[in-house]
Amino acid sequence: MSEEKKQVEKIREAFEQEFGRFVDLRNKLSDLGLAAAENLQREISEFKTRHTGKKSEIANAKKLIGRVAPEERGSFGQFVQSVEKRIVTAIDESESALNDYILKAKTERERVDVTLPGRRPRVGHLHLITLLRQQIEDIFVSMGYSIEDDREIETDYYNFDALNIPDGHPARESQDTFYTTTGFALRSQTSTVQIRAMERRGAPIRIIAPGRVFRRDTPDPTHVPMFHQIEGLCVDKGITMAHLKGTVAEWLRRLFGEGTKVRMRPSYFPFTEPSAEFDFSCFKCSGTGQSDGARCRPCKGSGWIELGGCGMVHPNVLENCGVDPQVYSGFAFGFGLERMCALMYALDDIRLMFENDVRFLGQFR
């Protein structure tokens, strides 16, 4: 054997030895993970460049063809070519087996079973206070009322003075609120909106004003320092207490059903004269005081549920807003939403409504 042929034979042997690890790759692939196969893919591509590239040993060996004796040149040339062909096809076969495998493994991994049930996205919903507020708003809007929204930070004038509660009046005590260092107060009642709305719009006027109010109360099962009220106001010529009772009764009938009754008890508020508190017949026991064979829970067996305060707007209040009490009269009412929710859903702690625990809130939608 010529020196040159020996050299090429060595190249072939070296290749076969190194190629050993890629031999029969097609059969070994199934035990390989996708990650291992991808590593192998990088290795084989490096291996390919080294053994078939321009600077590979077999490429160099081709330069020897010109150096051998002319009579051997033909067979030597064929030999070099056959070795080169062996190297190239061996690598190509392994490489394409590897590529096929990787493609299949990836497709498998990304396969989607479209028959599986979908994952339901968690849908939020409105808070129970908002839901009740909207229900009440709808009822009043259908009776020709508009909805007034106004500020939560007020001056003493709007929270007290304009509502006929002068400095030193005992009613200020029971509604002690939060003050800023610059003399503003967080409103302790939505009655402030009566004043703002009449100042702005005069009379006649029909509004309800839902909103947050604040009081300096230590939280307990029946008190929170921030809660929601809805205020109602109707001022026109010839408005009487009968309109007040009719309106409240109609609203509560629409909310709790036709059979709902309303009663009023004399009371006192500085901004109304006369003043009353209004109760409605219990939605649970329909006023009988008995439900589920025992003392009815929401009304404590009385058959009545106390809801809020009301009355005929005090002439001083009308005057404070530039409305002539000789020409106009009106009624007003106000009540708290949390108390109402607590009664309707038999909650023994109103703080539940502010803890934002979705296990609780999710029950009311």
SS3 state of residue 59: helix
Write down the least CB distance from residue 275 to ligand DAH, Å.
Answer: 6
Place of tokens 């050299």: 7
Q: What angle do CA 232, 236, 242 make, to 5 degrees?
A: 70
Query: Which position among 270, 287, 330, 334 is part of the footprint of ligand DAH (CB under 6 A)?
Result: 334
Contact 162, 254 (CB under 8 A): no
Give counts: helices (H), strands (E), the chain.
Answer: 13, 11
Cα separations in angstroms, 142 against 146, 173, 251, 254, 260: 9, 37, 10, 11, 19
**162 touches ligand DAH by CB under 6 A:** no
**94 touches ligand DAH by CB under 6 A:** no
Within the chain, what is the greatest distance between any pair of CA atoms? 136
Write down the least CB distance from residue 310 to ligand DAH, Å.
Answer: 5
Task: Choose the stretch contacting ligand DAH; rule: CB under 6 A; options: 8-16, 251-259, 279-287, 307-315.
Answer: 307-315
Contact 212, 192 (CB under 8 A): no
**Residues pairing with 211 in the sheet:** 229
Write down the least CB distance from residue 115 to ligand DAH, Å.
Answer: 59
Task: Choose the stretch contacting ligand DAH; rule: CB under 6 A; options: 21-29, 94-102, 257-265, 329-337.
Answer: 329-337
Of 269 and 283, nearer to ligand DAH (C-beta) is: 269
Place of tokens 């599986």: 116
Write down the least CB distance from residue 162 to ligand DAH, Å.
Answer: 13
Query: Which position among 248, 310, 337, 353 is part of the footprint of ligand DAH (CB under 6 A)?
Result: 310
Query: Which position among 15, 160, 269, 278 is part of the footprint of ligand DAH (CB under 6 A)?
Result: 269
Residue numbers 9-48 binding ligand DAH by CB under 6 A: none
Residue numbers 270-289 binding ligand DAH by CB under 6 A: 272
Of 98 and 350, nearer to ligand DAH (C-beta) is: 350
Token readout for 191 is 């009655």
**191 touches ligand DAH by CB under 6 A:** yes
Write down the least CB distance from residue 259 to ligand DAH, Å.
Answer: 26
Q: Which helix (H) or strand (E) holds 26?
A: helix 25-28
Task: Choose the stretch contacting ligand DAH; rule: CB under 6 A; options: 93-101, 133-141, 251-259, 306-314.
Answer: 306-314
- The site for ligand DAH, by CB under 6 A, has a size of 12
Query: Which position among 56, 159, 189, 329 is part of the footprint of ligand DAH (CB under 6 A)?
Result: 189
Cα distance between residue 129 and residue 364, in whole Å: 10
Residue numbers 226-255 binding ligand DAH by CB under 6 A: 231
Of 22 and 269, nearer to ligand DAH (C-beta) is: 269
Task: Choose the stretch contacting ligand DAH; rule: CB under 6 A; options: 38-46, 72-80, 309-317, 318-326.
Answer: 309-317
Nearest to 162 by CA among 192, 138, 134: 192
**342 touches ligand DAH by CB under 6 A:** no
**309 touches ligand DAH by CB under 6 A:** yes
Cα distance between residue 207 and residue 109, in whole Å: 62
How remote is the C-alpha of 121 from its chain's centroid?
11
Q: First vs last Cα of the chain: how many Å apart?
A: 94
- Alpha-helical runs (H) found in 117-237: 128-142, 156-159, 170-174, 192-201
Which residues form the interface with ligand DAH (CB under 6 A)?
A: 189, 191, 231, 269, 272, 308-311, 332-334
